[in-house]
Amino acid sequence: MTLKGQGRVLPVQILTCSGATNLLEKVRSSVMRRFVNPIFALNVLRDVGITIGQSNVSEWSPAVREKTAGNRGWVEAMRKAHRRSTRK
């Protein structure tokens, strides 16, 4: 297992017995599980039985924030729905 920094996040790479390298994914989707806090990553790994690994934090920059659209579309949709419901 390797906890490898990429910008602000820490994805987990797991080397399987067959020699293949896989990324830890979220439970209900095939999206890569990315941790911002290494303590959370280590707790999840311990919970699934992985207790020995290595880390590579040479590219980890915890102060860097990713630019995302956030919830702006959801917020606007909720505002419109609220306006429609109060007009009646």
- Encode the chain (88 residues) as per-residue pLDDT tens digits: 888 888 888 888 888 788 888 888 788 888 888 888 889 989 988 998 888 888 888 888 888 776 665 667 777 888 888 888 887 6
> Residue 63 has what pLDDT?
83
Taking the model in full, what pTM does it have?
A: 0.59
Q: How far is CA 26 from CA 17, 49, 66, 85, in A?
A: 21, 17, 19, 36
